[in-house]
Structure 1
Amino acid sequence: MKSRILTAAVALVLFSCATKTPAVTEAAPVAKAVELTPELAAGQSLYDNNCAKCHKLYEPKKFTHEEWKPILVRMQKKAKLDDTQMVSISNYINSQL
């Protein structure tokens, strides 16, 4: 009788201490990475270096194309960027949407 209780206690301890296997969940769809052309890489660099001076960088997908337009117009003045640089940044952001 004691051996059965002891065996049950050991089995219970081993079972409760065993590592739990993670539940199988559906994998989220993998976002297709866009290969950056030299022009897009330049836009990313401008975005990273100029926008991060004043605030955290937002992922391009955080906003829609329509939401980005006024943001970029407003930030162009603050960051003192010319139209060519803004086109480059806009192209980069749009390529990531």
Structure 2
Amino acid sequence: MKTKILSLITLVLLLTACGTKKTAVASAETAPAAKEAKTVELTPELAEGKNLYENSCVKCHKLYEPKKFTKEEWAPILVSMGKKAKLNETQLASVTNYIHSQL
């Protein structure tokens, strides 16, 4: 009976996660000239990058808004932090693509 309940819960969670539309919204503070917030729909790759960024980086320090730094400033930060977080090349590319999509 417990197995059936756990299986049902797992199935519901999986279906819920697959059906959820994930978007990121730039805040008005990061774009004061913009009257409306820019919405970026996250592809599966970008969602994975966001997940890696949020779960790997927060282990050691607070998360920074992607717009805090320029693309050029992010490059050495991501390489250095990627090594410390033990991200492989694919994972680092996902995080980099996510950060760049938010700029």
TM surpasses 0.5: yes
TM-score by length of structure 1 reads 0.69
Please list the CA deviations of residues 7-32 of structure 1 after superposition, one character each: whole Å capped at 9, or x if unmatched: xxxxxxxxxxxxxxxxxxxx952231
Distance 1:35 1:59 in 2: 17
Residue of structure 2 aligned with 1:73, choices 61, 74, 79: 79
SS at match of 2:46: helix
Structure 2 residue ranges without an equivalent (≥5)? 1-32
Q: CA RMSD in A?
A: 1.3
Runs of 4+ more than 2 Å apart: 27-31
TM-score by length of structure 2 reads 0.66
Percent identity over paired residues:
72
Q: Corresponding residue for 2:65? A: 59
Matches within 5 A, 1:26-65: 29-65=35-71
Q: How many residue pairs are counted as aligned between the two chains?
A: 71
Code of the residue aligned with 2:84 in structure 1: it is: K
Structure 1 residue ranges without an equivalent (≥5)? 1-26
Please list the CA deviations of residues 53-81 of structure 1 after superposition, one character each: whole Å capped at 9, or x if unmatched: 00000010110000000000110111011
Higher share of residues assigned strand: 2
Distance 1:93 1:28 in 2: 20
RCO comparison, higher one (Cα < 8 Å, 6+) = 1
Matches within 5 A, 1:77-88: 77-88=83-94
